[in-house]
Amino acid sequence: MPSSSIDHAIAEGPLTGAAGDPTYAGVTSFMRRKYSKDPAGADVAVLGIPFDAAVSNRPGARFGPQAIRRASAIMDNDPQYPFANDLFADLAVIDAGDVLLDYGNHAETPARIEAAARAVIAAGAFVLALGGDHFVTWPLLKAHAAAHGPLALIQFDAHQDTWPDDGNRIDHGSFVGRAARDGIIDPDRSIQIGIRTHAPATCGIEIIDAHRLEDMRATEIAEAIYARVGGGKAYITFDIDCLDPAFAPGTGTPVAGGPSSAKMLGTLMHLKNLQLVGADVVEVAPAYDHADITAIAGATVAMHYLGLLAARKAAG
């Protein structure tokens, strides 16, 4: 039975509480959250970053935020599995729309993304970013490190993203090495999960490669993450190409031999005790997708972040 209201994203009302829009209609924000450019009073701000000029293979991730939002409409605010409750009963979440980027001036892109994230952080809200290619994580990390100091990076990815970098490149394959070198992340507390390509350097970051991952249960992966990260502040970045192309074909640089969405979502579910300060999901490129498989996976990763934050708030 549909509710008596529609277009929850732009209707009057509080930031908390479930929506009742039909899955096939209504204004499509992320999980029907209120659209607002003002993060004051929000626990979380969902921030779209429609940028894909840093890719080394197939472009198209600039359409990722739109696709993820659209896919999230199927999450109609019933209790979300596996969290078994209304994520928005007490967690105030807004969709802050997209960062405005000049497609003809990419040199300005990092600063614009960083400034948008800093504004959300300064307002006391958690940044949940929807990419965009993986370069967007660089300015997001800078914004968070400015507020919290060097971060533990938890990176779900098929690629290490540690290729040589001159400090000025706009490149989705080198930003992790730059972040390690510049003290934005702490390599000794950072970990990469799902890697199945080679790069010249590890930068001291622990790697759980795809072959090792295949033999691990989700609980074991989570234990390895806790052992590496410890109790310090952490940032999660989830490149959707961490998943095998069977589960995420719509991405710019797919690599066969990866994990299932079930295993990686199960891992995320067990990370509720992390001191998580920011998160993103990137590299969803809907032009290469089939039946929204990849967009649904990306939206579900983002929903799991919200589930962790809702559980943390409920626990006090």
Q: Which residues are annotated as a binding site for Mn(2+)?
A: 134, 157, 159, 161, 239, 241
Tokens 């967009």: give the residue.
295
Are the CB atoms for 82 and 269 separated by under 8 Å?
yes
Provide the annotated binding site.
134, 157, 159, 161, 239, 241
User: Which two structure tokens, joined as six digits, stand for 254?
Assistant: 């797919």
- In our burial notation (b when 16+ CB lie closer than 10 A, e otherwise), range 173-203 reads bbbbbbbbeeebbbbebbbbbbbbeebeebb
3-state helix, strand, coil in the chain (%, to 5): 35, 15, 50
Query: Among 90, 242, 224, which residue's Cα sits nearest to residue 160?
Result: 242
| Residue 214: strand, helix, or coil | helix
Please give the helix or strand (H or E) that residue 280 lies within, else none.
strand 275-282
Query: Among 293, 257, 271, which residue's Cα sits nearest to residue 218?
Result: 271
| Residue 54: strand, helix, or coil | coil
Q: Helices marked H in the chain — which ranges?
A: 64-71, 109-122, 137-148, 175-181, 210-214, 218-229, 261-269, 293-314
- 15 DSSP 8-state letter: S
